Amino acid sequence: MAIGSTFVSRGAAGYDAYMGRWSLRLAPLFLEFAGVAPGERVLEIGCGTGNLTAALAQRGDLSGIDAIDYDTDFVAEARRRLAGPNIRIEQGDASALAFPDGAYDRALSMLVLHFVADPSRAVSEMRRVLRKGGVAAACVWDLYGGMPANRLFWDPIVAIEPAMAEHWARAAFRPMTGPGELQGAFEAAGFVDVTETMLPIRMDFQNFDDFWEPTIYGQGNRAALVAQHGEERLKAAVRTAYLSGRPDGPRSFASIAWSVRGLAA
C-alpha cells in the first residue's frame, strides 16, 4: 500500500513563495464551492502553511477545525500563524487518517490529492471519517491544460533540451488532474450527488525574476534538474518566452483548479 506524499518540500518559506500565494487566492473560491455550515466539525487534509485553515477560522462559527499535513515544517508554520481553542493542526497522512469513522461533518482538501502517493485511498479516507450526510470537497490544479504559467516554464525548456521531456510529462500528468479524474475518484469511493466545477484564479508576477526564482527554488527538484542541463541556457529560453518581445515587467496568467464536491450517503 502506497502511503505518504510525492511532494518535494523545501520548507514553508519556499512553499509560500512558489504556491502559497496562489492557494491564498484560491481558498475563498474553494470554500464557497465546498460550503460550510455553522456548528460543523471540519477536517482539512493537507493544510500546507494554513491558508484554507485561516479562511475556515475566520468564520468563527464552527465547532471545531482539525487540519493535517504530511510536512512537519508546514505544520509548524500553520500552528505559528493560527491559534484557537477549536483549531488543532497535526502531522498526518491523507492515505491513513488517524481519526474515527463518522467523526466530521465536512472534509476538505485543497491542492493536495495530486501529491498523495495513493490519492484514491485518500478520497476513501475522506468518506470514512464523514458522518452520513456529511460533505467532502477537494480541488487540484489542471496541470496540463489549465496552467499557462506552468507551460511557460516547461515548453521552452523542452524545445531546446528534449531530455527534459520526461520530467515535464511527470509534472503535467499527475493523478487526479485531468478532466473527470477527481469526480471519478469521488464516485468510486461511494459519494453521491457528486459535482465537478472549475475554479479560476490569476497568477500575477511582477517581473521575470518573480516568476523564475520561486519556480526554480521554491519547491521540488527543478533547481537540480535545470542545473544538470545548463541553468543559464534554459533560463534564457524561459525569459524569452516570458518577455514575448516586450520589456520586462508584470505578467498575469489564468490558472484553473478542478474542484469536486460529494455527499456521504
Average pLDDT in the chain: 93
The angle, 0 to 180 degrees and rounded to 10, between the axes of the packed helices 208-217 and 231-243 is 140
The rounded distance, in Å, linking the Cα atoms of 129 and 109 is: 13
The rounded distance, in Å, linking the Cα atoms of 231 and 229 is: 6
Q: What is the pLDDT of residue 4?
A: 65
Q: Are 110 and 78 in contact (CB under 8 A)?
A: no
Q: What is the pLDDT of residues 68-107, one digit of tens each?
A: 999 999 999 999 999 888 999 999 999 999 999 999 999 9
Q: What is the total count of domains within the chain?
A: 1
Q: Return the CATH number at 188.
A: 3.40.50.150
End-to-end CA distance of the chain: 26
Global pTM?
A: 0.92
Note down the domain range covering 111: 12-143+175-205+253-264
- Residue 230 domain-assigned? no
Q: What is the pLDDT of residues 38-56, one digit of tens each?
A: 999 999 999 999 999 999 9
Q: What is the pLDDT of residues 142-171, one digit of tens each?
A: 999 999 999 999 999 999 999 999 999 999
- Residue 212 domain-assigned? no
- Residue 43 domain-assigned? yes
- Residue 216 domain-assigned? no
- Residue 200 domain-assigned? yes
Alpha helices, H only, the chain: 12-15, 21-34, 51-59, 72-81, 119-128, 148-160, 165-172, 181-188, 208-217, 222-228, 231-243
Q: Is the pLDDT of residue 141 over 50?
A: yes
- Residue 233 domain-assigned? no
- Residue 199 domain-assigned? yes
